[in-house]
Structure 1
C-alpha cells in the first residue's frame, strides 16, 4: 500500500489567496520595515543617530507636527481635509504667548488657546457640513481668515515671553523625557483608542467609507464630521502652544508648512485620501519616517531645496502605493 501525496497546483484559488494575503500584508505593514531600514541607514551614515539625546531631540522637535497629524488623521478618515491647521497652529502660539505676556497663568492661557482651536475647528466643520462647501475650498478660505485675524491680533509683531515657567511644556522634562514627548504620546494613545475601541471611532470609518449609507443608517454624519474638525483645531492649537513654549515667542507667521507637513505624515502613514481607512498608529509611523529622514538629511547637511524634492517624491510615492493597494483589494 502506498501513500498518496496530494499537492496544490500553483494556480489554484488556495495558492492565489496565499499570494494575495502575503501581498496585502506587505502593503499594510511594509511601512514598519521601511522605518527600520531608514533607521539602519541613518545609523550607518550618522553613527550618533541612535544616541538617546538625539532620539529625544527628534521626537521633541516633531511633537507639534505629530499632535496635528492625529487630528488630521480623523479628518481624512471621514474623507476630509483641513488646510487651515497651519493658521490655527500659528494663532494658538500667538494667543498663548500673548496671554502669558499679559500675566495670565499658564493653565488659564492654555485653556483659552485650546478653546480658540476648538472654535476654529467648529467654524470649519459648520461651513463644510451645513453650508456644503468643499473641504478643500472651505479650509483654504479659513486659512486666510484665521491668519489675518492672528496678524491683526498681534499687530504683525511677535510676543516675546521672558517668564521661564512659560517654557515648561516646550523645554521641560519629566523623568528625563521632554514633556512635549509625553504630550505627544498621550495624544497618540488617546487617538488610537478612540478610533479602534469606541463607537465614535467606528462611526468615523463608516462615514469615510460611505457617507450616504451611514446617514441612512441613522448616524449623525454632519455632527460627526464636524467633530473631527473640532478635534483637529484643538490639536493644532496645542501644537502651537508647544512651539511657542519652546521658542518663548508667539507670532502669527509660523507654521506656514504645517498643513502640508501634517497631510504628508498622514498620507505616508497609509491613511487613504479616499476616506474610510487609516489609523493613528500608522500616522505615528509616518511621523517617525519623516522625522528620521529630516534628521538624517540635516545631519548630512543636505541642501534644503533637495530635501523638499525628496519629501515631495515620498508623498507622491505614498499616494501611488495607496492607489495600488486599493486596486488590489
Structure 2
C-alpha cells in the first residue's frame, strides 16, 4: 500500500480590504454643495434675462427696468429672509402676508400719523415693527408652548390678522400724509431706491445671522434633529419663539416698505404674499423639512420670480400663464429637494412627522 502524502493547504492571505472612501469627482462635490446649488440658480436667472432680452429687446435691458425688477423683489425679499429662518428650523409661517397687511393698517392710523407728525416719522416704523413682532410672538408661543402644528397655528393667524385689519380700517384705504415718512421711503440713494437698499441690508444681516452666529447654528441644528438639539442643551422652545418673532419683524419691515411704495395702508396689502415668499425660499434651496437654509439662495429665488413676472409683463402674457409657470417651477424645486434629501440611501422622511417642541 503506497503511502499517500496529504497536502496541507497553506493559509490563504487575502489582500487587505480597502476601506478608504472611493474617489469622487470634485465637480460633483461642488454641485452638491451650496455653491453649486447657487450656481444653478444664477444660471437660471441668467437664462431668464436672456429670454427677456430676446423677447422684449431694449425695453427689458434698460437700467430703469432692472431697477423695477429689484423694487418688485425688495418687499418679497425682506419677508422671505425671516421665513427662511423659520423653515430652516423645520417650521412654516403662512401668516406673513396678513401680518404685513395688518402692520400697514395700524401704522397708517390717523392717531399714529398725528403722533408721528408731532414727534418723528420713525414712530410709524416702530409701530409697524411692533405689530409684526407681536404677531410673531403669538405664533411662536402657540407653536412652541401650545404644541400646535405650525401650519395650523400660522393659518389661524393668517385669517385672524386679516380680519383684524379689516375691522380696524373699516375695509377702507388709509392715506399716508406724513411727508417726512414718504420723503425717506420714496427717496433714492446713489440712484437706487431706498427700498432696494433696505432689501440689501436685511439680506446681509440675515446671511450673517444664519451663517456666522450661534443663533444660526442652533436654527440649523433644530431643523436637522430637534431631539438631538434638545439633548445638546439648546432651549428649543425659546429659540422657536424667537424665530417667529423674527419673521414677524421682517413682515413689519415689509409693511413699512409697502406704505412707502403705495402711500396707503389697507387690509388687502400682502394678500397671498405668503405663497410667493414660501415659493422663493423653497426654490432658493432651503429644505421644507428643515436642517438646511440659505439666505443667498432665497435672494436668488426672489430675483428669479420677480424677473419671471417682469418678462411675462413685458410680453403682455396672461396672469394665468404666469401662475402656471411659477407653480411648475415650485414643483420642480420640491422634487429636486426630495432627491437631494434621499441621496446615498439616507432618507429623512421620518422628519416629516410633527414633533413636539
Same fold (TM over 0.5): yes
Seen in structure 2, the aligned counterparts of structure 1 residues 273 and 208 have a Cα distance that, compared at 3 Å, is: same
Gaps of 5+ in 2: 1-19, 345-357
Matches within 5 A, 1:57-96: 57-96=68-107
Q: For residues 213 and 86 of structure 2, what CA distance do their matches in structure 1 show?
A: 16
Q: For residues 37 and 70 of structure 2, what CA distance do their matches in structure 1 show?
A: 26
1:122 pairs, out of 133, 137, 140, with 137
Name whichever of 146-155 and 14-23 sits farther off.
14-23
User: Does structure 1 retain, via aligned residues, the 8 Å contact 2:113–2:124?
Assistant: no
Q: For residues 66 and 72 of structure 1, what CA distance do their matches in structure 2 show?
A: 10
Which residue of structure 2 aligns with residue 24 of structure 1?
32
User: Does structure 1 retain, via aligned residues, the 8 Å contact 2:37–2:285?
Assistant: no
**Could you say what secondary structure the match of 1:33 adopts?**
helix
Q: For residues 202 and 66 of structure 2, what CA distance do their matches in structure 1 show?
A: 19
2:114 pairs, out of 90, 102, 108, with 102
Q: For residues 335 and 183 of structure 2, what CA distance do their matches in structure 1 show?
A: 41
Q: For residues 27 and 300 of structure 2, what CA distance do their matches in structure 1 show?
A: 26
Cα deviation per residue 1:290-311 (whole Å; 9 max; x = unaligned)?
A: 1111111110111001111111
User: Does structure 1 retain, via aligned residues, the 8 Å contact 2:38–2:297?
Assistant: no
User: Does structure 1 retain, via aligned residues, the 8 Å contact 2:122–2:181?
Assistant: no
Which residue of structure 2 aligns with residue 43 of structure 1?
53
Q: For residues 55 and 174 of structure 2, what CA distance do their matches in structure 1 show?
A: 40
Task: Normalising by structure 2, report the TM-score.
Answer: 0.85
1:53 pairs with 2:80: no
Which residue of structure 1 aligns with residue 323 of structure 2?
308
**Could you say what secondary structure the match of 2:177 adopts?**
coil
Runs ≥4 in structure 1, deviation > 4 angstroms?
Answer: 12-20, 25-28
**Could you say what secondary structure the match of 2:146 adopts?**
coil
Q: How many Å apart are 1:29 and its aligned residue?
A: 3.2
Task: Normalising by structure 1, report the TM-score.
Answer: 0.92
Q: How many Å apart are 1:164 and its aligned residue?
A: 3.5
Q: For residues 314 and 179 of structure 2, what CA distance do their matches in structure 1 show?
A: 30
**Could you say what secondary structure the match of 1:207 adopts?**
helix
